[in-house]
Structure formats: C-alpha cells, structure tokens
Chain A
Amino acid sequence: MSDPGDHPVPLSTEPADAGPDDATIAWRLPSPLLLRVRRIEVAVVTVPLAIAGGVAGAVVSTGLAAGIAVAVVVAGALGERFLARRVAAWGYAERQDDLMVRRGVLIRHQSVIPYGRMQFIDVTAGPLERSQGLATLRMHTAAAASDARIPGLEQGVAAALRDQLTELGEAQAAGL
C-alpha cells in the first residue's frame, strides 16, 4: 500500500498504473464477481475469528471483548481494501503470438507466455468460485517458474479461453 492516493478502481476500467506497455495492450479483466468471492473469503475468516476473539475476551471483560472484535473486523476491512486492489490488478491480454498476464499490487508481475510453449492448461473452480459461476485458468509451461494463472473468469469465458489457447498452442507448438 505504498501509495494511498490510488483508490481502488472499478473493475470494468483500466487501473491507472499497471506496469509496462499500458497504452498498447488491450487488457482484459477478470469478472467483477471475483471481488465478491474475495470478500466472502475475507468474511469467512474474519467473522468467526472476531466472534471467537470476542468470546475469549469476554472472560476478562466486556471492553476487551469489544476491543478484540473491533480490531479483527478492522483488520478484515483493511484486508478487503488490499484484496480489492489485488483483484483490480489482475489482467490478461491475448496477443498475436503470446498471452500476457499481469498481477500483483506490492510486487507487480507481468508474464509473457508464447502460445507454443504451453504444455497444458487447467481450469479449476473451488466451491466459492463455483457458487459465483467463476473459474481459475492455469497455464503450465515446461518451466516450473513460469506457471501463470488467471482467477475469476466466468466459467464460459474460461472454457472458451482454454479451448482457444489449446488450439493456438497446437498450431504453434515448439519442442523443448
């Protein structure tokens, strides 16, 4: 959170500052529902923790109980702000010969993966993602370091992207 002036941007538009080559690349963003998934995840952790902390604090005094509960909720809210920015930072761009993926707020990453280098592509969806109709696309190359993923794609989009990437990969496949 190095720069407080940067408000979380709406997901449908371009974040202001996301690494090199902003102008020339048509970034596509994950579904806005991803933010909801992340919020639910934060809530799932925060609420029980706040209750448990409150109950534990109540043994000593009501004031402590309230203090702990409020602190946990505030931490959760801060986490939510951070996650919102992280969600906004995800993006991918299909270029002619490669796929670009960017992510990260504090440490920013931008990967270029040639279609021909993709060994296999996974579409996974956890229970939360599934409840929102989302899926995560994972691309694997022969290099262990370079596996890129795109979370929060609508399931239809993810499947279509997977098929398209597979097709492009087959067309441009290169040996090791």
Chain B
Amino acid sequence: MTAPLPDELPLRAASAASDQPWHRLHPLSPLVRAGRQLMSLVVLLAGLLVANHHRVGRDLVTDLVIIAIALAGGFVSWLVTRWQITDGVLRVDTGLIRRDSRRFPLSQIQAVDVVQTGLARVLGLAELRVRMAGGDAAHGGRLACLRRSDAEQLRRDLLALSVAGTAVAAVAAIPARAVGRAGPAVVVPERLLFRVNAARLPVAILLSRTGAVAIAVAAAAGLTIAVSGRTSTIAPFLPFVLGAMVNLWRQLNGQYGTTVAAAPDGLRLRSGLIQTTAETIRPGRIQAVRLAEPLIWRALGWCRLEVDVAGARQRREDQGEGQRLRAVIPVGSRAEAGQLLGELIGSQPLLPRLAPPLAARWKAPLAYHFLGWNRDDRYVVASRGRVCRQTTWVPLDKVQSIRWVQGPLQRRLGLATVHLDVAGKRVSAKIQDRSDAEAREILAGLPDLARAARSAAA
C-alpha cells in the first residue's frame, strides 16, 4: 500500500524523476475551497448589515480582513500545489512551509469521485477525489479544483490507467495528459440501471430515522410554543431544530437525483441537488451489498440498497447515523432493488433461505422471523434485524476474516454466530444464531470456499 521509499528526499526526487509535465489546479480553486466558509461569512455579514446598519463599521472591517486572509491563504496554497501522473502513480505536491508530497499508485485506486459544490457548479469547476483502501478521507487524493471537463477527462484517464496496471508502457500509450487543453471527450456509452423517484425521496427521508427525529424535534418545539403562547420559548430548541434540519437537508442534497449507470470503467453513481457527486466504482471493488428495509418503508414496499467499497472512511460530518454506506438506491421498490442487485452481483441474487433453529426464538424473539443465510460458490448472504431488516451479500473472494462468536445466552441455547468481515466501513455479514453444529460446519467450511473463490477470481 505504501509507495516505495525514494532514495533521495521527496522534493529532489520529484524534480528529477519526472518526464511528465506538472499540472496546476484551476486558478479559481481557492475561491471554491473557501466557498463554504465564505458563504456563511457573507450571510452573517448581510445579517449584521440588515440587523444593525448603524454599528457595522469595525465588524465589517474585521470580516473583510478575515475573508482577505482566507483568500490569500488559498491563493498561496494554490500556488504551491501541483500534480502529475508518472509511472502509474498520481503525485500531488502541496504545502508552502511543510511540504507534503503524496503518491497514489493507480493500480490500487478503489474509486474516483468528481464532486461539485454549488459554487463550483456556478464556476464550472469540479473536485476530483481518489479513494484508496484504508486511511481516512484526509489521506485520500484530492484535486480541488479542476475545470469540469478536465476533471472528467482525468477520471477517465485514471480509471483507464488503473485498469491497465502499473505498466509503464500503458502509461506511455495514453497520450500526454490532455488536461488544460481537453481534447474531444470520448463518449462512453453508459447503461442506466436506476434513477431515484424524485417525489418519493423526500417522503422516504421524512419516514426514515432522520425524519422521525426531525419531526419529533419540530413537534416538541411546536408544542412548547402552543403551550407557552410565546415564540421566544422556542430558543432552547433552536440548536436541535437546526441540527435536525441540517441532517434532513444533507440527506436530500446527497441523495437527490441518484442515478446508477453501468459504464465500461465501472459503476457510475451520480447524485446531488446543490453539491453533485459523480462516483465511479471500479468493477470488482464492491466489498458488500446491503439491502435495508426499515419498518415503515416495509409497509410501503420500499427499500434501500447500499454498497460498500474499501475506500476511505467518510468524513465525520457525512457519516450521519452510524456507519452509513453509499446508497445506490436511496429509496426504491423491491423490484428495482432486485434488478440492480442482480446487476451488482452479476447473477440471480441468492436469498437467505436457510432458517435458524427453533432455539433462536428465545435469543431473538422479534428478529427470529428475519434470520437466515445462504451461500453458493460466489456469495454468502445473511439477513437479520428487528426494526430494520438488513440483508447483506458478501462476495466470498472478498472475505477478510471469519469470526465465530458465542455469548453466554447463546451457549445455553446451543447457538453461535458467524461473522464474515470484509474491508470497508465495519460491515460484516452476520450469520446470526445458528445451531452449534451448523456454526461449526460454517467455520470449518467457509475458509476453504473463500479460498476457492479467491483463486477463481484471481
């Protein structure tokens, strides 16, 4: 995973070992990168101006100074940031005082994202994110920002190179980076697999856990106003109301207009209302697929389909509730989910048909109905969950480790649980509450099956 240690200092190596040209980011990128903070400052400023237009003087100056410093910092950062692709490695050098030189071996790229914030969309810019396995988002490669067409061209190049492997010949075969003077874009035929229903999404979000929290908070605030008869009593609720609204907005913004398409270089996921994201997941990099059916959605026949990639952990703010995975279907009907699932795992999806032993009724009286697992020679599927039914498909060739776990109650009842861990955000298929004998058999048999699947995939 680590780049080989250079013999000399990175800086000198960087200047010496490059026949490929270095590139800069787009000159407007500091503006976009500062965009979020800038936006809130501007809003604050406007608010101040409106609220007390007599006494803004000093505050205005302070704010303008802050903005100027932020922009100057961004400009310096832009000035010292450069990137290049050479020998199958993407290199990003940055930093004025503390130089920071990163290499991303293209053969190990898990996914490439093109992200556009609202401001970036207005300016026609886009940020390119390269996701590697492990580490957190800060360690992923980020090129913020490029011109949109360049970002897309670069994504195509990166994916092509990453498929071609690290061979230098392959690198040479790709014409000199067209970035900066983007050549005629190659039109890649894509096959649309799924498009989220725009009317259903807001309703679904309101009916999800985030929505329930938001509704509860709003109801509490409303009740307080109704009881006290004064709007000012809402003050203590404001942070919660705001938080709930932000969460709702984040989900809507993140999942609005989700489309899934099959492209030659991988699965293309696009979504976003203001900030748009276009992710490309390379074929064979999906570590797990999960179908979630929360209680209320179940009644409406809706479900959510998520995939897990061994990419960087999400930024903390994006994490939402627990370990949220990338939703390929934020909300959809069972038929849509079944169809996409078939595409994702490349066959008729396996159903968790094997029911648990009767003793599991005592251990999991509510979930008993939903417990089950099954396997074939490529996949293991396991389902569980009381309120939210979760069915997880794990490719056998992606299994990292197999764990057999037995708690005291399970021991009494003669049960055991087997986890199949995959690289990703702590997702594991949990074959829950099987009889002792069956769990023993699974633990004894699955390692061999997984090995067979691995060698078949290799």
Contact = CB atoms under 8 A, between A and B. Distances in A.
Interface of A: 2, 19-21, 97-98, 106-114, 116-117, 119, 141-146, 148, 174-176
26 contacts: A2-B408, A2-B411, A19-B404, A20-B416, A20-B439, A97-B447, A108-B405, A108-B411, A110-B404, A110-B443, A111-B402, A112-B403, A112-B446, A112-B447, A113-B401, A114-B401, A114-B454, A116-B454, A141-B400, A142-B134, A142-B400, A143-B401, A174-B454, A176-B110, A176-B133, A176-B285
Contact of B403 (A2, A109, A174, A175): A109
B403 A98 contact: no
Interface in B1-27: 1
Nearest to B419: A145
Given A98-B447, A113-B401, A114-B447, A174 B407 contact: no
A143 B424 contact: yes
Interface in B280-315: 285, 287, 310
B454 A112 contact: no
A82 B404 CA distance: 22
Interface residues of B, number: 40
B284 to A, nearest CB: 9
A148 B401 contact: yes
B313 to A, nearest CB: 9
A97 B451 contact: yes
Given A106-B407, A143-B423, 18 more contacts: A20-B440, A20-B444, A97-B451, A111-B401, A111-B404, A112-B401, A114-B400, A114-B401, A116-B454, A141-B423, A142-B400, A143-B422, A145-B403, A145-B428, A146-B401, A174-B458, A176-B287, A176-B310
B283 to A, nearest CB: 13
A148 B400 CA distance: 12
A70 to B, nearest CB: 29
A113 B209 CA distance: 36
A82 to B, nearest CB: 13
A94 to B, nearest CB: 13
Interface in B393-412: 397-398, 400-408, 411-412
A167 B133 CA distance: 22
B22 to A, nearest CB: 30
Contacts of B134: 119, 142
Contacts of B450: 114
B421 interface: yes
B36 interface: no
A55 to B, nearest CB: 38
A114 B451 contact: yes
Contacts of B408: 2, 106-107
B99 interface: no
Nearest to A105: B408
Nearest to A110: B404
B200 interface: no
A143 B400 CA distance: 6
A20 B423 CA distance: 25
Contacts of A21: 440, 443-444
B428 A107 contact: no
Contacts of B436: 20
Contacts of B406: 19, 107-108
A141 B401 contact: yes
Contacts of B404: 19-20, 108-112
B353 interface: no
A171 B406 CA distance: 33
B403 A110 contact: yes
Interface centre among B287, B421, B451 (most CB of A within 10 A): B421
A139 to B, nearest CB: 9
B442 to A, nearest CB: 9
B378 to A, nearest CB: 15
Contact of B421 (A107, A116, A146, A174): A146
A141 B287 CA distance: 14
Nearest to B2: A120
A43 B205 CA distance: 54
A145 B458 contact: no
Nearest to B437: A20
Contacts of A146: 400-401, 403, 421
B139 interface: no
User: Would you list the 10 A-B pairs with minimal beta carbon distance, nearest first?
Assistant: A142-B423, A146-B401, A143-B421, A20-B440, A143-B400, A146-B421, A141-B400, A110-B404, A112-B402, A145-B421
A90 to B, nearest CB: 15
A111 B407 contact: no
A176 B440 contact: no
Contacts of B400: 113-114, 117, 141-143, 146
Nearest to B287: A176
Contacts of A119: 1, 134
